[in-house]
Amino acid sequence: MRFRIIRSLTSLAAICCMLQLVSVTGLAQDKADDSRGDAASQSTKAARVFEEIMNAPDRGIPDGVLEGAECVAVFPSVLKAGFVFGGREGRGVASCRSSRGWTAPAFFDLKGGSFGLQIGVQSTDFILLFMNARGLDRLIGDKFEIGGDASAAAGPVGREAGASTDIRLDAEILSYSRSRGLFAGLELKGVVVTQDKDDIRAVYGQDADARGVLKDSKFTAPDDVRAFPSMLGHYSTRKEKP
């Protein structure tokens, strides 16, 4: 009798362990599915923002400036909120040139604080152009601060603006913003950009990171996240030298 009780308790413990394992596995899968869906949504939003900006008559990113960029990142609907103290927070997508065209997209978070007389909430689209190899190296690191780790300048606006602003192309990053319909170059400082590793791994696997996606071109974009690099290819077809 005692042996039967012990055996029953052992079986019950084993069943509980199995149920717990199934539950943990299910939660992990649900989280991965959520991250995958979020990545697809961010790519679609970024593509739409970039298309709207480039289609604005005489107010988009100059073609010559875009052709000189090695990578493009778009952070749609970054929220700036505060009462005296404030902060920015948003998520975005980046793609870089390769010998085959624009790479599969990688996913990032953007955060930054501010201080001053401010109140309320504002939504802003941010566009970052990484103009050289130094800018690319910043992007594929774990995190960097714009205006701190990486030199940045307000990007020129308008189809004819590029010819007279060559000095700005010395910057690692050119930054832009669109808020309340107004698109302009922005002197963006104190903002920290970090890899969104959950989204990257949900799309490409556990060994994936921004370097593998953007610089080493180890991954092909699945259909559900292809919107952003496809949109970049529509406006700029220059490829990186093999």
For residue 221, is pLDDT > 50? yes
CA neighbours closer than 13 Å in the CB half-sphere of residue 223: 0
Cβ-Cβ contacts under 8 Å for 68 (sequence gap 6 or more):
131, 169
Is the pLDDT higher at 11 or at 212?
212
Predicted confidence at residue 5, as pLDDT, reads 52
Residue 213's pLDDT band (boundaries 50, 70, 90)?
Answer: very high
Averaged confidence pLDDT in the chain: 81
Q: What is the pTM of this model?
A: 0.80
Q: What is the pLDDT of residues 93-144, one digit of tens each?
A: 999 999 999 999 999 999 985 544 445 557 889 999 999 999 999 999 989 9
Residue 68's pLDDT band (boundaries 50, 70, 90)?
Answer: very high
For residue 179, is pLDDT > 80? yes
Burial class (CB in 10 A: 0-12, 13-18, 19+), 232: buried
Q: What is the pLDDT of residues 11-57, one digit of tens each?
A: 555 554 454 544 434 434 444 557 789 999 999 999 999 999 999 87
Q: How far apart are the first and last CA of the chain?
A: 76
Q: Which of 43, 44, 47 is nearest to 55 (CA)?
A: 47
Predicted confidence at residue 17, as pLDDT, reads 46
For residue 89, is pLDDT > 90? no
